[in-house]
A and B are shown apart, each in its own frame.
Chain A
């Protein structure tokens, strides 16, 4: 019994699917953002697994990419949650179904 690349890839795939379901299915804007964070984490886990297991001349590249993804994810979370607070202030709700101001 040993753990190899496929195990990590399958864990990442399942996490990404759960995040995709949250992003598309949830009604609460904050729930949608949780799905996005979960998808970013799944991709980071996949990067780290490839960096550990796959043949490469510079195996550290995957880790550096994960650091950049972490940076962008933190910036995205800060601005998106500020938008959530602002939307609540203007519209009185954080449900994405009810943000239909542009609907004909």
Chain B
């Protein structure tokens, strides 16, 4: 990871990701916060590319930038009254001090530990290796994940179904 292009890309993406995540914390309007969150997700997707994790970069793009941010926007639009404010509650100072302490501990551990670094180069392509692992070694977790997704799908539909639809269903 010594070539100049990768280094420049890493620093640019790291500044973009952290800056826009701070933007999520600082802006007052919750829709602007979602826009900053999307920029942060895009930055993380770029960081995956610098880690030669091509499949993860595309999955991040599709799932977070495409789907999850749309869910956030829909949730904001469906809760119109008094929900645009993105301010802090009474837990602001304890949350700030806990987050700073926790971040300092994580950074200290990251810098202080002598990691067992390997000399291997980046992956040439990862999608086929991930696909093979999912259907071979990790096939049971893979099936459990599909059941979880089905449960989440059915649960979300049942939760937000309007009451009129429920009464109609009871009458039939």
B and A form one assembly: yes
Name A residues whose Cβ lies closer than 8 Å to a Cβ of B: 1-28, 30-31, 33-34, 37-38, 41, 44-45, 48-49, 51-56, 59-61, 63-64, 66-68, 70-79, 81-86, 88, 92-97
Closest to B41 in A: A41
Enumerate chain A residues within 8 angstroms of B120, measured Cβ to Cβ: 59
When the two chains form their complex, are residues B145 and A72 in contact, meaning their CB atoms are under 8 A apart? yes
Enumerate chain A residues within 8 angstroms of B34, measured Cβ to Cβ: 34
Closest to A22 in B: B25
Partner of B75, one of A52, A64, A84: A84
Task: Supply 10 A–B pairs (Cβ within 8 Å), ascending by A.
Answer: A3-B10, A10-B107, A26-B86, A27-B89, A38-B37, A52-B123, A60-B129, A63-B55, A85-B79, A93-B81
Interface members, chain B 85-104 (any A CB < 8 Å): 85-92, 94-96, 98-100, 102-103
B13 vs chain A, min Cβ distance (A): 9
When the two chains form their complex, are residues A84 and B79 in contact, meaning their CB atoms are under 8 A apart? yes
Partner of B156, one of A16, A41, A72, A78: A78
- Assembled-state Cα–Cα distance A18/B36 (Å): 13
When the two chains form their complex, are residues A48 and B51 in contact, meaning their CB atoms are under 8 A apart? yes
Interface members, chain B 5-31 (any A CB < 8 Å): 6-7, 10, 14, 17-18, 21-22, 24-25, 30
Enumerate chain A residues within 8 angstroms of B56, measured Cβ to Cβ: 44, 48, 63, 66-67
- Assembled-state Cα–Cα distance A23/B99 (Å): 10
